[in-house]
Amino acid sequence: MSVTISVDGTDVTGRDGQTIAGVLLGAGHRTWRTAAGQERGIFCGMGICQDCVLTVNGVEGVRACQRAACEGDVVEREVRA
């Protein structure tokens, strides 16, 4: 079974049960956040570093490596100074 999420306005499809980070990585995204001018994506993969945070359904600071992707999620890149 598949799950489709919107990532910065583009639909991305992954497998049911994957985290948002898993869906993004599976779709070829290696980074999805900018912090202090540098691209960030997944680092620890277990909820500690917070390098993977993004906005999900309007909630900022969601850790992509810990949040299961749900059908229709709206995911947005975060840019922080």
Q: Is 50 in the site for ligand FES (CB under 6 A)?
A: yes
Q: Please identify, among the stretches 23-31, 44-52, 54-62, 68-76, the one whose residues bind ligand FES according to the rule CB under 6 A.
A: 44-52
Scanning the structure block, which residue is given the tokens 């980074």? 31
Task: Give strand ranges (E) for the chain.
Answer: 2-7, 10-15, 31-35, 38-41, 53-56, 59-63, 74-76, 78-80
- Contact with ligand FES (CB under 6 A): which of 6, 35, 45, 76? 45
User: Interface residues with ligand FES (CB under 6 A)?
Assistant: 42-45, 47-52, 63, 65
